Amino acid sequence: MVSYAPLAPAPASSVDARLALAEQLLACESARGCARAVVEWLPAHAQALAAACVAREEPGARMTCLAAQGLCEAQQAALAAWSDADSTHPLADVLTQAVPRFFPKERAPLPSPGAQGLFAVPLGRAGASPVGLLLVWASTPELPAEVAWVAGHAGPFLARQATSGPLAAGGSELFRRIIDAVTDPVLLTDLEGRARLANARAEALLMAGPDASHGRRRAVHLNQRVFSAAVASSASGGQPGVSWREVPLVDPVEGLDLLFEMVSTRVYEPDGREAMVSVLRNVTDLGRATQALGESYRRLRATEREARSERHRLDRVLDSVADPIILSDPSGVTVMMNEPAERLFSLPPEGGRAAQRRVRSNHATFVSFLANVLDTGGSPRWRGHLSLVDPTSGATLPVEAVASKVLGEGGELTGIVTLFQDRGEALEKARLLERLKEVSTLLEARVQVATAELAEQNEKLRRQAIQLEQASAAKSQFLANMSHEFRTPLNAILGYTNMLLQGVSGELTAPQKRNLTRIDSNGRHLLEVINEILDITRIEAGRMPLHLSDFVIPELLQEVMAEMDPIIARSKLTVTTHLGARLPPVHSDRQKVKQVVLNLLSNALKFTHEGTVKVVAEYQPSSSMLTICVEDTGIGIAPADQEKIFEDFQQVDSSPTRAYGGTGLGLSICRRLADMLGGRVTLQSTQGQGSAFTLHFPRRPRRT
């Protein structure tokens, strides 16, 4: 069984030569022509000193020298003086084992002057017994890759085109046995394709006995029709000589499609009638091999283009690297270098003797470094510090050279890639680092002094923070107490004022009633301010408890609208409410929810001069959150002020001449109350178009 080891990719320089040989093999029509093309190609492209191709006509027969190059006639005759049945001959053992073998010159069956030995490579189809040997006299004991490639591609051609020996003359019975022994179908037919004589192979394709199966008879009938049409077409051409035609037939046994090359010749029978002798050669495998070879040819061309493109891309990549890079072969010879490396290791265009000395010095330094790399054995990488010289200026260039070994598939060394990195910046950084360490030592001493001073200042600030917290608590307590003290007399004032307005002490004149009304309005405003300050202080002091209860949103909104009805009537705005579907009962602090909604609605009425105000209540089952949104078409709030209005005592216009009154605590209280409920207050507003304040709070608070 012939087999070959996988071949390494061919270099770009030998691709065209391989393609030329492959095309020549495809055009060969005989085994000798194929062998001649091979032995003429090997000395030119595989460094072979001599080459020969021997084959056998049949098992046990003597070998035949099909072609030779670099051998005399006596040497060619010696190559044919043995047979594969001779087990003592060393070349017969190669045919038996079907494995390439190298014979040193002292043991070579046929030595050649100047050759180190003889390579004997079996030839034949893959998986079949060899039909011959390719003999190559070479100057190296390693099988050249080109020889292995030639053997792998030329073997199938020789196996297919090898002759099978001359026909012997004899009687008709011997002639019948001879044509039956021919593996190709042979037929003698009339001009319409009706068979008169056929060998066994032709009968297997074109004839079926009475006991044949239905499928075989159909296949034979189809083959007869196709064959008869082909013979008739060849006969109708009217031209003497041999004609070729491809005929597609069917294997009656396997049912597979077969392709035959039909060679037809017009002859005359003894009675003078014209007939056709047709030989069908099975070219199914040849067609497949041709197709495979064409595909291999296309792949080879594609590989060649990819190799060229990869080489160009590699050149561009190397030239784009700022650091010098050198690629060396296993012996240390430079194969490729990028442009930065050329500036160090190549003579400048206008360089003199000084530049030549510097370039030689750089080469000597690099060669010494590569010698150390090759002496490292199995270490794949080697680093070293080199001192190179700029050939143009003569400046010293300290570099770090990093050499990496490139290994092949078998672990053999195929090249060395060396990268040079400039150490000048690194050395400068090291010097600066030493200076930095000195400065750092000085700074550390100063930092220790500053740290001690900072600790002293932090202690003072901590004491001041404690004092500020105490002062803030005292302030909150003071405001709570003062708010209570203010509310008691103020409620009395408002009560007596209300009694006077109702006429308890007698009828009042119009000026008196007008003045008392102003007193009542200002007193209630003052009470509202005091209540807001009291709420803020209670929240800050943590004395604002939650009173949880069950209530429904529609009823709460009705109370809010009823309390705000006098203000709504005076504003002449359209105020509506919208309740979402399936509003569930709520377990929360009803008074605080109502206070937030009242405050948001009061702000909407205050800052809306015309248009509408809408209160929308909805429930979000996915998060168990309720939302009450108060939308208006008022003056709106600029984006820069939307966070500011939620701070204590802050309004959009805080000037003394502002158009709207208020303490600036309403929205701050709303946000703090929403936090206590486990929710939040959000704002969406466009200046000049309106605002939408939304209270988000859970159906049941997480904390009680």
pLDDT at 577: 92
C-beta atoms surrounding 241 within 10 Å: 8
Please tell me the distance from the alpha carbon of residue 126 to that of residue 292, in angstroms, as a whole number: 14
Residue 94 φ then ψ, to 5° = -65, -40
pLDDT at 480: 62
**Using an 8 Å Cβ cutoff, are 523 and 515 in contact?**
no
Of 602 and 114, which is predicted with more confidence? 602
Range 404-415 average pLDDT:
79
* Average pLDDT of the chain to the nearest whole number: 79
Long-range contacts of 562-569 (CB under 8 A, 24+ apart): 563/598, 564/598, 564/601, 564/602, 564/605, 567/602, 567/605, 568/605
Please tell me the distance from the alpha carbon of residue 354 to that of residue 685, in angstroms, as a whole number: 80
C-beta atoms surrounding 262 within 10 Å: 21
**Using an 8 Å Cβ cutoff, are 667 and 673 in contact?**
no
Task: Read off the amino acid at residue 300.
Answer: L
pLDDT at 86: 74
pLDDT of 687 > 80? The answer is: yes
pLDDT of 542 > 70? The answer is: no
Question: Please, which residues have CB within 8 angstroms of residue 453's CB and are 6 or more apart in sequence?
Answer: none
> What stretches of 124-273 adopt beta strand conformation (E)?
132-138, 186-189, 195-198, 242-250, 257-268
Long-range contacts of 363-368 (CB under 8 A, 24+ apart): 366/326, 366/401, 366/418, 367/332
- Label the pairing between strands 195-198 and 381-389: unpaired
**Using an 8 Å Cβ cutoff, are 230 and 275 in contact?**
no
Range 402-423 average pLDDT:
80
pLDDT at 350: 73
pLDDT of 374 > 90? The answer is: no
Please tell me the distance from the alpha carbon of residue 249 to that of residue 184, in angstroms, as a whole number: 13
**What order do you get walking across the sheet with 63-69 strand by strand?**
63-69, 50-56, 132-138, 117-123, 101-104
Range 164-191 average pLDDT:
65
pLDDT digits (tens, 9 = 90+) for 224-239: 888 888 888 887 866 6
pLDDT at 171: 43
Most confidently predicted of 128-142, 408-422, 500-514, 687-701? 687-701
**Using an 8 Å Cβ cutoff, are 527 and 562 in contact?**
no
**Using an 8 Å Cβ cutoff, are 386 and 363 in contact?**
no
- The pLDDT-based confidence of 161 (bands split at 50, 70, 90) is low
Of 360 and 427, which is predicted with more confidence? 360
Q: Which token pair is 629?
A: 């949104």
pLDDT at 166: 34
What 3-state DSSP class applies to 623? Answer: coil
Range 242-253 average pLDDT:
83
Element (H, E) at 279: strand 274-282
Most confidently predicted of 196-205, 309-318, 618-627? 618-627
pLDDT digits (tens, 9 = 90+) for 607-655: 898 899 999 999 998 888 999 999 999 988 888 887 878 776 666 554 4
pLDDT of 8 > 60? The answer is: no
Cα→Cα distances 680→451, 694, 697, Å: 43, 8, 7
> What stretches of 38-145 adopt beta strand conformation (E)?
50-56, 63-69, 101-104, 117-123, 132-138
What 3-state DSSP class applies to 189? Answer: strand
Long-range contacts of 193-196 (CB under 8 A, 24+ apart): 193/224, 193/227, 193/228, 193/229, 193/230, 193/231, 193/232, 193/276, 194/228, 196/275
Please tell me the distance from the alpha carbon of residue 352 to that of residue 606, in angstroms, as a whole number: 94
pLDDT at 700: 87
pLDDT of 5 > 50? The answer is: no
DSSP state of 646: G
pLDDT at 162: 55
DSSP for 595-607, written as a single string: HHHHHHHHHHHHT
Range 386-391 average pLDDT:
83
Residue found under tokens 């893959």: 126
- The pLDDT-based confidence of 346 (bands split at 50, 70, 90) is confident
- Longest Cα separation, the chain: 166
Of 566 and 627, which is predicted with more confidence? 627
Question: Please, which residues have CB within 8 angstroms of residue 151's CB and are 6 or more apart in sequence?
Answer: 4, 100, 121, 122, 123, 134
pLDDT digits (tens, 9 = 90+) for 423-482: 777 777 888 888 888 888 888 888 888 888 888 888 888 888 888 777 766 766 666 666
pLDDT at 578: 93
pLDDT digits (tens, 9 = 90+) for 58-112: 555 677 888 888 888 888 887 777 776 777 788 888 888 888 888 888 888 777 7
Query: In this predicted structure, which of 254-258, 413-417, 524-528, 631-635 has the lowest mean pLDDT?
Result: 524-528
SS3 assignment for 521-570: HHHHHHHHHHHHHHHHHHHHCCCCCCCEEEECHHHHHHHHHHHCHHHHHH
Most confidently predicted of 163-177, 323-337, 460-474, 546-560? 546-560
pLDDT at 169: 32
pLDDT at 240: 62
**Using an 8 Å Cβ cutoff, are 695 and 627 in contact?**
yes
DSSP for 131-171, written as a single string: -EEEEEEESSSSPPHHHHHHHHHHHHHHHHH----PPPP--
Percent of the chain with pLDDT over 90: 7
Please tell me the distance from the alpha carbon of residue 410 to that of residue 594, in angstroms, as a whole number: 86
Please tell me the distance from the alpha carbon of residue 568 to that of residue 631, in angstroms, as a whole number: 15
pLDDT at 655: 46
pLDDT of 128 > 80? The answer is: no
Q: Which token pair is 224?
A: 């007869």
pLDDT digits (tens, 9 = 90+) for 467-493: 877 776 676 666 666 666 776 777 778
Please tell me the distance from the alpha carbon of residue 241 to that of residue 65, in angstroms, as a whole number: 32
**Using an 8 Å Cβ cutoff, are 387 and 397 in contact?**
yes
pLDDT digits (tens, 9 = 90+) for 481-533: 666 677 677 777 877 787 877 777 778 888 877 787 778 767 766 766 676 66
